[in-house]
Amino acid sequence: MKSFFDKNLLLKGKNAKFLYKMVKNLPIIDYHCHLNQSQIANDCGFSDIGELWLKADHYKWRAMRLNGVEEKYITGDATFKEKFFKYAEIMPNLIGNPLYYWTQLELKLVFNINKPLNLDTAEEIYNLANAKLKNLTVLDLLKRFNVEYVATTDDPIDDLLDHGKHGNTIVSPTFRPDKLFNFEQDYLDKLSSVSGVKINGLSDLLTALENRLNYFVKKGCVISDHGFDRFPETYATEEQATKIFGNLNNASIEEKESLKGYILLWLTKEYKKRNITMQLHFAVTRNVNPSGFKNCGVDSGFDVVSEPPSVKNLVNFLNKTDDQDRPKTILYTLNDATLTALASVSGAFRNVLMGAAWWFNDTVQAIKRNLSVISEYACLGNNLGMLTDSRSFSSYVRFDFFRRILCSFVGEKVDSGEYDKKSAITLCKNLCYFNAKQII
């Protein structure tokens, strides 16, 4: 019987272990996350492990709600120590959940603690972790994980004052204009203010967005991001979009969707001009459970997997941009029921890649499924590998988690004689570091 969380965790076979040794210490490029750049710039510390883990991690919050923990101990006014003990209490219930792996890996890799977390061990682990956390800051954690590059998630109206190089880590913004597509006047007024463009019509809006894009690029932006439930079904012409924007107060839902389609296509071409990679993630319904959302707000664990994306609508979107005008585009789906179809789409259009298994899909089995489908229906060798999509500075164990699963997936093919060892080494290194390096 293997010992608890030993060095060969998730590594099956001789070649998996060998490949993992080749990649485990490679630098990390986190090309999509929600870390707070101000905390990085100010090299903040942490009061205790409860703050580090439970202040902003909606993955853990959801798990606690699943186990009946009162909201007081999740997003409420309980102390971080009390929240930590409640989380410790539910840990044994999370077998198979990625949170179980991540939590135990964080204890091992950050605090050198290799004991199962539960209510019996909570006091000891809390004290041991806090003793080490006294001398750990944000930059210490980034250095410990060898994080070379972080792409935060930023709205076009954000000031980006804290982006730059901090310690050994480059922190760059990501252009994410999701809030724009609500077309609310308050937001448009803020966009007008920060861009210096009075927005009276559609052409003014595009000029304001262009100004902000240029500012983002100046601050190091090389990636954009769009998250939505589904792709637009209709796309306004320039004439139609101008008319709709000029009459927003009376525009129908369908008209606003077609306006969104027009702007999305415009942005696609602007990204290409600036060599900005475009991320598209979809099949998510946000802010369900009205009472929970009202009490806790956005990004608190009330987003859910939605219906499978319409492949027809995705193809329609991609068809509207010529291959030479399309930036590198990465597709992520929270509902992987149509993963095979999406992978096939990536082979029909240039510069379109399947993304990582993320959010609800960054589990052991879903990552394996993602790797398998991409390798069989698209191309695994040019995949960009892992990202954190996280708000936690200890979440970089997710790269170790991914690297172990990847090396086991590839190593099994070497073991069976299906793949040569030299190519396996190159492929694993590329997926763990060098492919992502090419887009930053």
- Per-residue model confidence as pLDDT tens digits over 183-236: 999 999 999 999 999 999 999 999 999 999 999 999 999 999 999 888 999 999
Say which residue the tokens 């990636």 belong to: 223
Q: What percent of the chain has pLDDT over 70?
A: 100
pLDDT average, residue stretch 39-57:
97
Backbone angles phi, psi at 93, to 5 degrees: -80, -10
Question: Which pLDDT score is estimated for 266?
Answer: 98
**Cα–Cα separations (whole angstroms), residue 4 to 9, 14, 126, 130, 307:** 9, 19, 19, 22, 38
Is the Cα torsion angle 32, 37, 41, 45 positive or negative in sign?
negative
pLDDT at 1 over 80: no
Say which residue the tokens 């252009």 belong to: 175
**Token couple for 199:** 């927005």
CATH, domain 14-46+147-437, list 3.20.20.140, 3.40.50.150, 3.30.160.270, 3.30.450.20: 3.20.20.140
Question: Which pLDDT score is estimated for 387?
Answer: 97
pLDDT at 421 over 90: yes
Contact present, 67 and 101 (Cβ < 8 Å) = no
Delimit the domains of the chain by residue range.
14-46+147-437, 47-136
> How much is the mean pLDDT over the chain?
97
Give the largest Cα separation in the chain, rounded.
Answer: 70
Question: Which pLDDT score is estimated for 291?
Answer: 94
pLDDT at 422 over 90: yes
Number of neighbouring beta carbons within 10 Å of residue 89? 18
User: What is the reported pTM?
Assistant: 0.96
Contact present, 83 and 50 (Cβ < 8 Å) = yes
Question: Which pLDDT score is estimated for 244?
Answer: 98
- Burial, 26: exposed, middle or buried (Cβ in 10 Å; 0-12, 13-18, 19+)? middle
pLDDT average, residue stretch 274-289:
95
Residues 6+ apart with CB under 8 A from 354: 330, 331, 339, 342, 343, 346, 370, 373, 374, 378, 383
pLDDT, one tens digit per residue, over 286-320 is: 999 999 999 999 999 999 999 988 999 999 999 99
pLDDT average, residue stretch 157-176:
98
pLDDT, one tens digit per residue, over 102-159 is: 999 999 999 999 999 999 999 999 999 999 999 999 999 999 999 999 999 999 999 9
Give Cα 59 to chain centroid, integer Å: 13
Output the CATH code of domain 47-136.
1.10.2020.10
Question: Which pLDDT score is estimated for 60?
Answer: 97
Q: What percent of the chain has pLDDT over 90?
A: 98
pLDDT, one tens digit per residue, over 64-107 is: 999 999 999 999 999 999 999 999 999 999 999 999 999 999 99
**Nearest-angstrom CA–CA distance, 283 and 307:** 6
pLDDT, one tens digit per residue, over 145-163 is: 999 999 999 999 999 999 9
